Amino acid sequence: MSGRALIIVVVGIIITTSVILHNISVSSTRITSNLNSYYSRQLGQDIAQSGVNLGLRQWANNPSWRTGFSLISMSGGKVTVTATDTTYIGKPVVMIRSVGITNYNTKDERRDTSTVWVAKDSLNPIPVKALFQTNGPTSTSGGILMDGRDHTAPPPMPPTLIDTQGVYAVWTTNTFTMGGSNAVAGTAGGVDYIPSTSQKKRAAILQTGQPSAGYPTTPDSVAGGASNGYPEGTLKNLAKSGINGSQYVTDPLTLKYPLSGVTYVELPSGVQWSPALVYGSGILIVHNNTTTAAIKNLSGDNKGNDTFTGVIIADDIVHLQGNIVGAVFELTSNPSEGVCIGNSNAQTYFSRQAVLNATRSLSGSSGGNGSAANVIGWWE
Amino acid sequence: MNDLQDIVGSIAVGGMVLLMLVIFNGNVMESAGMQTFKTTVQGNLTTVTNVIETDFRKMGYRLPSSLDSAIVYADSNRIKFKTDIDNNGTVDTVQYYIDTIKASLTPNPRDFVLHRIQNNQGQSMMIGITRFKLQYFDASDSLLTSNPVTATGRIKSIKLSINMESTDRILDNRRGGQLGNPMNDTSYVGAYWERTIKPKNLR
């Protein structure tokens, strides 16, 4: 091989090698770029989530806060947070949206969004006059305890007594007759009355013959109606929305347990739910348009799930036998099976905390922790 | 005589130089090939993890009832969950699973097909996934050991591990030691990724 040929071969190999080395360099750059892209994505998401948490904390401190944050520096990037009023699954909420920006104002700028929907505390507490409010003749039998004094929400069970903050044991537009070994307790005029089987001695906490005019005929009117934030259909819509475990059924056998949120059982006219398995928490409604939906032999499962904590609103209550902590409303003026609202060894206690929790759970403000307690949806 | 010695010497030296250049060029080409494969594998890996992470983070979004778990089914290589994945107000069902049958359409004998099913519409990914492992943890970060998980409502976080290899062999086994494949078969380029995802809507 001549020297010239050798030079040509060597130069050719050098050129080829240079091209290949360039390709290697390009490939390495792509790998690095891939890593950078992954890092930017993660950083952008982190910034966006931090922005959401910033907004949540601000909202927790001041629920009227809507001004947001504009392009504040965070973790080497920028974040913009907005807060607006809207609805989420039919519920009024505040939407907090955060946009995390990495490599701001460069050709590699990247934006990631994180959004949360925060429930407003829009539901007012249900007004309660007595542990039992009825619109018809009412009686008891067996060993039922009706304690209208205030208690904490369980646990423990029996709940802890809170002095002098309670309500009447019974408030009715008609008559009330104690039977069996029924004991009643309650609070009237700031005075607690301990359980007693004497109707005469406990007359102060047994309010009978009250005015029937204006007695509520629907669950929403029990809750105070439109003036209290419950226009007709509110509770049914909440039940249908499924919020916090709410359920709407026409067949109580399809209910899921433990009950929570609003449990709305709409029975055909004159149909009884019997025996009625009831345990859990929230608001239990048994109602229909003719005010004839009946719940009978209400009790737990005898496997340790024997207590319902919250508010029960039913057209017609027959033989309440389980443990109730909260308050009970009966709507009918004409009970279907006599007048015995409760019997057996049912333990019923008024609890202001339980009544408040029943509506707070629907606002999303019970349970959870920190600023995320009211969040009902995340999108990221 | 001297001229002959010069010619023979030149041929010998020139030949050695040429041989060295050829070998060098071969090594450079090999490196270029490996680099290309690595780029492809890592690109595929970040793409598939991006898709999975995006879906998993939305798990449980817009579900009306907290009584129903967002996760319908969960085992070590399959997960099915509910979410409004396209944010249109309708809850969708998304399923990920890896085939138990190897991906016969690729030369790699160990890779599987990863399936993503959204509302019965499937997408198959034959990109060299050799392992797709799911582990589930409850609210206290304790591993849920039953497989499949019986109480899916307890799942609060998911650890996902993915091994990926090139679908084609780059070197024979004798040369494979240079690749540093974490799966020990050094004739394929490989990459490993794992992450614990805590979907915010699984409260």
Please give the Cα distance from B114 to B119 (Å, whole number): 16
Count of Cβ atoms closer than 10 Å to residue A372 Cβ = 17
Q: Does residue A369 carry a pLDDT above 50?
A: no
C-alpha torsion angle, residues A223, A227, A233, A235 (rounded to 10): -30
Contacts of A245 in chain B (CB under 8 A): 65-67
Mean model confidence pLDDT for chain A: 87
Burial (CB count within 10 angstroms: exposed 0-12, middle 13-18, buried 19+), residue A273: buried
Q: Does residue A123 carry a pLDDT above 80?
A: no
Smallest CA–CA distance from B56 into chain A, residue: A380
The confidence score (pLDDT) of residue A368 equals 34
pLDDT class of A331 with cuts at 50, 70, 90: very high
Burial (CB count within 10 angstroms: exposed 0-12, middle 13-18, buried 19+), residue A234: buried
Q: For A60, how many CA atoms within 13 A lie in the half-sphere containing its CB?
A: 15
pLDDT class of A243 with cuts at 50, 70, 90: confident
Average of per-residue pLDDT across A32-52 = 89
The confidence score (pLDDT) of residue A372 equals 59
Residue A263 CB partners (closer than 8 Å, separation 6+)? A239, A246, A247, A249, A255, A280, A282, A283, A284, A285
Please give the Cα distance from A288 to A233 (Å, whole number): 12
Q: Mind listing the pLDDT tens digit for each residue in A261-297?
A: 899 999 998 788 989 999 999 999 999 999 999 998 8
- Kindly determine whether residue A378 and residue B200, on different chains, have CB atoms separated by under 8 Å: yes
Give residue for tokens 């017609």.
A316
Q: Mind listing the pLDDT tens digit for each residue in A144-196?
A: 899 999 999 998 989 999 999 999 999 999 998 888 888 999 999 999 999 99
Q: Is A30 touching B (CB cutoff 8 A)?
A: yes
Q: For A142, how many CA atoms within 13 A lie in the half-sphere containing its CB?
A: 15
Count of Cβ atoms closer than 10 Å to residue A233 Cβ = 12
Min mean pLDDT across A130-144, B47-61, B175-189 is at B175-189
3-class DSSP assignment, residue A109: coil
Bridge partners of A100, per DSSP, are A79, A112
Q: Does residue A45 carry a pLDDT above 70?
A: yes
pLDDT class of A102 with cuts at 50, 70, 90: very high
Burial (CB count within 10 angstroms: exposed 0-12, middle 13-18, buried 19+), residue B10: middle
Q: Is B24 touching A (CB cutoff 8 A)?
A: yes
Show the CA angle centred on residue B7, arms to residues B3 and B13, nearest 5°.
140
Q: Does residue A366 carry a pLDDT above 50?
A: no
How large is the ipTM?
Answer: 0.76
Contacts of B139 in chain A (CB under 8 A): none
Q: Which of A28, A245, A378 faces B67 most closely, judged by CB atoms?
A: A245
Is the preceding peptide bond at A258 cis, omega within 30 degrees of 0? yes
Maximum average pLDDT range among A345-349, B33-37, B71-75, B106-110: B71-75
3-class DSSP assignment, residue B117: strand
pLDDT class of A302 with cuts at 50, 70, 90: confident
Q: Is B151 touching A (CB cutoff 8 A)?
A: no
Smallest CA–CA distance from B29 into chain A, residue: A20
Q: Write out the two tokens for A345.
A: 């060894």
The confidence score (pLDDT) of residue B171 equals 65
- Kindly determine whether residue A37 and residue B46, on different chains, have CB atoms separated by under 8 Å: yes
Identify the residue with better confidence: B89 or B137.
B137
- Categorise residue A189: left if φ over 0, alpha if ψ from -120 to 50, beta otherwise: left
Contacts of B42 in chain A (CB under 8 A): 31, 34-35
pLDDT class of A140 with cuts at 50, 70, 90: confident
Share of chain B above pLDDT 90, in %: 38
The confidence score (pLDDT) of residue A182 equals 87
Q: Write out the two tokens for A128.
A: 């309660």
Distance of CA A174 to the CA centre of its chain: 34
Q: Is B27 touching A (CB cutoff 8 A)?
A: no
Nearest-neighbour CA in chain A from B101: distance (Å): 30
pLDDT class of A367 with cuts at 50, 70, 90: very low
Maximum average pLDDT range among A273-277, A336-340, B24-28: A273-277
Q: Does residue A13 carry a pLDDT above 90?
A: no
Residue A275 CB partners (closer than 8 Å, separation 6+)? A296, A297, A298, A299
- Kindly determine whether residue B65 and residue A246, on different chains, have CB atoms separated by under 8 Å: yes
Average of per-residue pLDDT across A356-372 = 58
The confidence score (pLDDT) of residue A1 equals 56
Please give the Cα distance from A70 to A78 (Å, whole number): 9
Count of Cβ atoms closer than 10 Å to residue A137 Cβ = 18
Q: Does residue A61 carry a pLDDT above 90?
A: no
- Kindly determine whether residue B66 and residue A89, on different chains, have CB atoms separated by under 8 Å: no
Contacts of B14 in chain A (CB under 8 A): 1, 3, 6
The confidence score (pLDDT) of residue A80 equals 96
Q: Write out the two tokens for A102.
A: 């990495």
Residue A224 CB partners (closer than 8 Å, separation 6+)? A124, A126, A127, A230
Which residue type sits at A302?
Answer: N
Contacts of A35 in chain B (CB under 8 A): 42
Q: Return residues 84-113 of B near A (CB < 8 Å).
A: 87
Counting every residue, how long is chain A? 380
Average of per-residue pLDDT across B112-132 = 91
